[in-house]
Amino acid sequence: MGRIQDKFDELKNINTKALITFVTAGDPTIEATKKIVSEIEQKGADLIELGIPYSDPIAEGPVIQAANIRALKNDIKIKNIMDAVMEMRTQVKVPIVYLLYYNCIFQYGADKFFDDCKNSGVDGVIIPDLPFEEQDEIKDTALKYSIDIISLVSPTSKDRVERIARSARGFLYCVSSLGVTGTRESFDTNFEEFFSIINKSVTIPTALGFGISTPEHIKKLKGYCDGLIVGSAIVRRVGESSTEDEAVAKVGEFVSSLRSAMDE
Amino acid sequence: MATQKKGRYGEFGGQYIPETLMNALLQLENQYEKFKNDKSFIGEFEFYLKEYAGRPSLLYFADRMTKDLGGAKIYLKREDLNHTGSHKINNVIGQALLAKRMGKKRLIAETGAGQHGVATATAATLFNMECEIFMGKEDMERQALNVFRMRLLGAKVRPVLSGTGTLKDATSEAMREWASRIDDTYFAIGSVVGPHPYPMIVRDSQSVIGREVKTQIMEKERRYPDYIIACVGGGSNAMGLFHPFIEDKEVNMIGVEAAGEGVNTVRHAAAIAKGSVGVLHGMKSYFLQDRDGQIDPVYSISAGLDYPGIGPEHAHLYSSGRAQYVPATDNEAVEAFKYLTRVEGIIPAIESAHAVAYAVKLAPTLPKDKIIVVNISGRGDKDVYSIAKYMGEDISSEG
Ligand SMILES: Cc1ncc(COP(=O)(O)O)c(C=O)c1O
């Protein structure tokens, strides 16, 4: 089986949940990303989401938008990110998934894109602007190269959850609340209800994301699902650092604290 | 056409949008399908177009311009005479009425030139709704007059600093805002862009332009025009003019894109001339972009045409060959702006001046029995400051 499923199975056996961490590739440089990813894995992340920087990230809040701008300043290309992943794969063992906007795949060419994903060691893709109805365009191509298209459900999905969950692959990305990515103080969503709908139809692991930013959030939310996703809170630490070493240290320390909260 | 997928124009269109917005879009589609055939809804829409916006707008025979150019007869469709000064009011009245029927209390919108923002702020006042307008920081400077008008009307104007600080970024930001306040907020998109059903809703309400032209030209000329010309930002004034004529194959449809400093420079906004098929703001269409799918920064003197894409139905009219799209530069638009002002005493919006620029080129090449209709999508009061600046004249009162 693929790395994603193996990882969730392994975590289940040791009775803990997946810590999923997001960083923007190339923020501020691709060399920094390699160091940060390696540090994140060592400090206990179970799955790494790599954001492919985009000029118009409509599902992103200010923190990740700023990271995209920092990365694009260096004219980073998807090909550079593919190469970096291939290089990282010599030591990084956890699953890696891309988060990217559909136009990037469309321009790169879906066949070449998923082929390159497979060759570099990318396990899945999250495409925030490609809802269930539009996935037909690339579903077969992704399948051909065994790359999981990770579907999202949100509190507004309601009657759509069943259809989405039933055909979802990898893990189901459950969006915590309305709006875009970014840290949140608290959540208004009724998670009991949200996950009771999801759990009726889902057969793969579930992970909750958007706004999760502290060890306290982790403790409070880990009971609902199989994994938790932390993005902006990590990216913010990268943005606040004045050197790459500082970014690595800050992110490493933060991920450790999240890991402890998860295993507690 | 029978097997056409929902919300598609050929391969173009679709709903490339975050899952959080999907049910809201489906609900919008469902409600629109219900109301668009509802007699009381249509009656209300027509009432406000007539009594409030001042429709029908005139179809004016530009006698002096026709004589001066010495070729085809030129008619001007006077959308500049509408309340608030452009065609944008047609769309906004339609969507605000729909929003009200859907029980929404707050209108949000993106704006480039500020005309759509002003129209939305006006409709919000008329229908007693809250209103917030997203506008790129650079556009707020270029169109300070319209920013003030929106604020006078009681709308909040939120500056958008992200990306290039223009219409594209304002559109992204309005979508983000919609995703965070779906329940009470209606996103009134300003052109025939975005995910389905928006391009259809906006086209339907703007089609009043082309329907009126059909009636008016039949009265005056007893036949349809040979050419209909409109500027294209997202494409709503053009689609409004074109759509009723699509089946009338003898009518040539020409959209005029903003060529900025020229389509062979990097400073333009000509998505058809220089773009390629891609996906942005929920739709598959033509966009100016690089090979990784990054959207190019675009430029035009006209804030309303300063957008890297074009509506999906235009993409289809272009790729099927039914309509033609041509570029006009800043320079040509400014010359046309001055020309129409001097010859006909009509100051057009700088957006509309792009359409005039092409008509000025085309008319002399045609025989005198041909007929051209040019859509004057808006009036130019908002532009005089930046035109003066372009011409190197200082008209600021502090001076
Ligand atoms: C007067 C006027 N014309 C044209 C446009 C371009 O929009 P569209 O292509 O949707 O008609 C604008 C947009 O702001 C405008 O204000």
Per-residue pLDDT tens digits of chain A, which is 264 residues long: 699 999 999 999 999 999 999 999 999 999 999 999 999 999 999 999 999 999 999 999 999 999 999 999 999 999 999 999 999 999 999 999 999 999 999 999 999 999 999 999 999 999 999 999 999 999 999 999 999 999 999 999 999 999 999 999 999 999 999 999 998 888 999 999 999 999 999 999 999 999 999 999 999 999 999 999 999 999 999 999 999 999 999 999 999 999 999 999
Q: In this structure, what are the phi and psi dihedrals at residue B345, rounded to the nearest 5 degrees?
A: 70, 30
**Cis, bond preceding B18 (omega within 30 deg of 0):** no
Collapse the DSSP code of B12 into the 3-class scheme (helix H, G, I; strand E, B; otherwise coil) and give the result. Answer: strand
| Under 8 Å between Cβ of A212 and A228 | yes
- For B108, the token pair is 């949000």
Question: Could you say which of B19, B281, B287 has the minimum Cβ distance to residue A153?
Answer: B19
What digits encode the pLDDT tens for the residues B7-16? 999 999 999 9
What digits encode the pLDDT tens for the residues B187-210? 999 999 999 999 999 999 999 999
Whether the CB of B231 sits within 6 Å of ligand 1 = yes
What is the layout of strands, in order, in the sheet containing B276-280? B8-9, B12-16, B282-287, B276-280
HSE at residue B241, side-chain half, CA atoms within 13 A, is 35
Whether the CB of B304 sits within 6 Å of ligand 1 = yes
Residues from A contacting B (CB-CB < 8 Å) are 54-59, 61-62, 65, 72, 77-78, 101-108, 128-134, 151-160, 164, 175, 178-180
CA distances from A234 to A57, A230, A255, A258, B31 (A): 18, 7, 8, 11, 41
Collapse the DSSP code of A148 into the 3-class scheme (helix H, G, I; strand E, B; otherwise coil) and give the result. Answer: strand
Please give the Cα distance from A154 to A157 (Å, whole number): 5
Ligand 1, atom nearest to B238 Cα: 11
H-helix or E-strand spanning residue B284: strand B282-287
What is the DSSP-derived secondary structure letter of residue B29? H
Per CB-CB distance under 8 Å, the chain B contacts of A149 are none
CA distances from A259 to A47, A218, A228, A255, B389 (A): 12, 9, 11, 6, 59
| Under 8 Å between Cβ of B75 and B124 | no
What digits encode the pLDDT tens for the residues B214-228? 999 999 999 999 999
Please give the Cα distance from B195 to B177 (Å, whole number): 16
Q: In this structure, what are the phi and psi dihedrals at residue B296, rounded to the nearest 5 degrees?
A: -70, 145
CA of B191 to the centre of ligand 1 (A): 8
- For B72, the token pair is 């085809």
Q: In this structure, what are the phi and psi dihedrals at residue A150, rounded to the nearest 5 degrees?
A: -90, 120
What digits encode the pLDDT tens for the residues B305-347? 999 999 999 999 999 999 999 999 999 999 999 999 999 999 9
